[in-house]
Each structure stands twice: as C-alpha cells, then as structure tokens.
Amino acid sequence: MKRHRVGKAKSHRLHRGYVRTESGKILVQVPDGSPWGFSLLSDDQSWPGGVGIARSWKPISKKSVSAKKRAELGWILEGS
C-alpha cells in the first residue's frame, strides 16, 4: 500500500478508516473540509492533514486493529 505524506492532499477518494503511523500509532483518517481534505484523529484530538502527528501513515483494515483500539476509536467512524 502506498504511504500518505503529511499535508499532501489527494485528488482521488480519500481513505476513511484506520491508519498506522510510521511510529506504530493507530489513528482514524476521515475526509473533512480542511485545506488538505482530511484529518487524522485520536480519541481526543485531531490533526488536519496529519500535520503535527506523523510524517507518513498507511491505511489498515479494521480486522488488523485490536478490539480495545476499535472500542476507543470506532465512534469516530460511526459519527462521521
């Protein structure tokens, strides 16, 4: 899978789901109205365009995310 880079807007449909940063942190990526067209989110913070949280990340499947982490972040996907 292709890695996404911080602050790089994509012209194609953006991934909406879980991502893993280069440091191993699991976050949620959702399209939004920011200048980059998406944000990365944790359970209590957001980073428009991924700026400030990671230099790169990869989309990952829901089944590769632990049940604990899905419980922590799943509400974001349900509400967006």
| pTM of the predicted protein model | 0.81
Distance (Å, rounded) from C-alpha 48 to C-alpha 62?
22
User: Residue 25 corresponds to which tokens in the numbers above?
Assistant: 């942190």
Judged by DSSP in three states, 7 sits in: coil
The pLDDT assigned to 79 comes to 74
Number of domains composing the chain: 1
What's the domain range around 38? 4-79
Please give the pLDDT value at position 11: 47
Report the SS3 class of residue 76. Answer: helix
Rounded alpha-carbon distances, angstroms, from residue 21 to 27, 41, 79 = 8, 12, 22
Range 42-55 average pLDDT:
95
Write the pLDDT tens digit of every residue in 6-48: 555 444 578 899 999 999 999 999 999 999 999 999 999 999 9
